[in-house]
Chains A and B, each alone.
Chain A
Amino acid sequence: MASDWKSFEPILIPDIPNLEKIDVYEKNGGYKAFEKVVKGNDWKPEDVVNEVKAANIRGRGGAGFNAGLKWSFMPPADGGPRYLACNGDESEPGTFKDRKIFEYNPHLFIEGALIAAYAMEITTIYVYIRGEYYSWIKMMEKALSDARSKGYVGKNIFGSDYSVEFEVTGGAGAYICGEETSMLESLEGKRGYPRVKPPFPAQKGLWGRPTTINNIETLANVPGVINNGADWFTNIGAETHPGPVLYGISGHVNRPGVYELPSGVPVMDLINEVAQGIRGGKKLKGLIPGGSSTPILRADQLDGVSMDADSLREAGSMMGTAGMIVMDEDTDMVDALWRIAHFYHHESCGQCTPCREGTGWLEKILLKIKNGEGEIRDLDLLLDVTTQMEGRTICALADAAAWPVRHTINRFRDEFEARCKKSVHAVA
């Protein structure tokens, strides 16, 4: 599989001019999968869930959970409202992929969301897009209004008795709203404080009703699965993490950008061939593989590693959002880690003490080290703070803040020690 990526034909964002226009999308087979499930007698909602489950579309927002399995957690319909909340918050540093779908193939996402809604007997879909993506919110509003005027959204779709509403809404600047229950709070018009689970959103989500939350890229994979079958999907890319992936490559590479390739592409191929190597002919120092919370890997840890959940876990990191941040040999790891710590401190919602206080201490201690005033024992203090944060809060933001600190210090310990003053020890 590893070398197949060179002949891969993009599925999510194929090179078709003006595909964002609904008539072009329709001419290229668009909305046929949705029509098939709504009109066809052999596609009951549970059949759609089972097909998507078999395809093993692992959530592209970072958690990597089987989307169809998530759908199957919805309780049976009781005639009341049920919601699909599409997560377009995309705020994890290093991640800039879902905006490509909004811009170049919005109807693929809309169709995927509509199929998901049909499968779960959902009455209303919301797509929540981060407020900074104002330009892309406008694009989605246009696409959705076209879909509505063509009758794909609204009452009695394709003459059936299936009806669904679909609305776009925007955030206003808060990383935490990418956390699924925080996003629900924000959608409800409140501060984005994550909710205690259980109850899980499938039981009590928006306005206390059954709700499923999926990432944009995850949903964009659904029409392909319905058109071509689960087997087709599971044959793309890595066996345990199949399908196309939008890789976002940024940092010190010659050609950064978002690239659609199968899952499981070797990391070094992505850096050296796809992104055309490190700028200025420099050497690679480290890679953050899937957004800023995923543990950094040193260059010497990347041999034979490929971009899929299992390979990255073995290497000591995670797939996350496949937002790869590449760092060259001149990168100051202390500065880089301080900036990541600053980010999580700024974005902590403040609800849980270990996160609100912990992220602040991580940033403060790292600033002290960055300014040459740290002592070696501060490194151990940092590691201690991370263990006081991890797993002790309502949501995973504290974990996301703790992991990069722990792993960057452990994997670049010499560099951190070199920035510290010698500790003064009492003589026994």
Chain B
Amino acid sequence: MEETYKFTKEDLKEIDAIKAKFPEVMPATLPTLWVAQNRFGHVEPPVQRLVAKTLDLPESHVHGVATFYTQYYKERKGKYVLDVCTTTSCQLCGGYKMLHYLEDKLGIKAGETTDDGMFSIQSVECLGACGYAPMMQITNDVYVNNLTEEKLDEVIDSLKEGKIPEFESVGMPLLEKINNK
């Protein structure tokens, strides 16, 4: 039997606020899929149907959108999804080395989830942090920059304790230092 999914009252309030931003209901599709994924951890077909029903849009439309965008999880993932960037600047600076280190450490390959359901690893396309390569993003949220094996060890340890690293403000390198040189 299909699991039944329901939005909470708060979710529905958030969805109403989203709808108010646009002249039509269809633009609410992407943000509502986000609300759903944040609530249920994925957007498998039953969740897609809930989104379609809530917005009164065709299921085929919601399915088309959910499958077009890579950040929506069309299947269940681990509690923490480690998106390791391997595109050009990260590739040049050891992105694949970091990816393989994580794979060995967690005993899974990119695209897989650990048996305890804690971690998934994905090799992803450019995340727009090219100057802080190699880097990864945790579950569509915080960026972890300038990765090293030691830093990955620390991050995994803290995630195991349920602690997500804080947002790192990288800053702009101080130009006056160059100017005064």
Contacts and interface: CB of A to CB of B under 8 A. Distances in A.
Interface stretch (B1-9, B25-33, B151-159): B25-33
B173 A135 contact: no
Most chain A beta-carbon contacts within 10 A, residue among B68, B130, B142, B173: B130
Given A135-B142, A135-B143, A167-B21, 10 more contacts: A94-B88, A131-B34, A167-B22, A172-B69, A189-B27, A189-B30, A251-B130, A325-B89, A331-B92, A339-B91
A172 B93 contact: no
A139 to B, nearest CB: 10
Closest 6 CB pairs of A and B: A173-B71, A172-B69, A250-B130, A173-B70, A189-B29, A256-B131
Contact of B131 (A8, A132, A187, A258): A258
Interface of A: 6-8, 10, 13, 15, 81, 90-96, 99-100, 103-104, 130-135, 167, 169-175, 186-192, 207, 248-252, 255-261, 273-274, 288, 292, 323, 325, 327, 331, 335-336, 339-340, 343, 346-347, 349
A192 B92 CA distance: 29
B140 interface: yes
Contact of B88 (A81, A90, A173, A339): A339
B28 A189 contact: yes
A239 to B, nearest CB: 23
A132 B128 contact: yes
B175 A250 contact: no
Interface of B: 21-24, 26-31, 33-34, 61, 64-65, 68-72, 86-89, 91-93, 125-133, 137, 140-143, 167, 169-170, 172-176, 178-179, 181
23 contacts: A96-B132, A100-B172, A132-B127, A135-B167, A170-B31, A171-B30, A172-B72, A173-B72, A174-B70, A188-B26, A189-B22, A190-B29, A190-B61, A190-B64, A191-B65, A248-B131, A250-B130, A250-B133, A251-B92, A256-B130, A257-B172, A259-B173, A343-B87
A172 B27 contact: no
Contacts of B24: 188-189, 207
B130 A95 contact: yes
B30 A93 contact: no
Given A15-B174, A331-B92, A186 B125 contact: no
Nearest to B142: A135
Given A170-B30, A339-B86, A325 B128 contact: no
Contacts of B86: 339
Given A6-B179, A172-B30, A130 B128 contact: yes
B88 A258 contact: no
B26 A260 contact: no
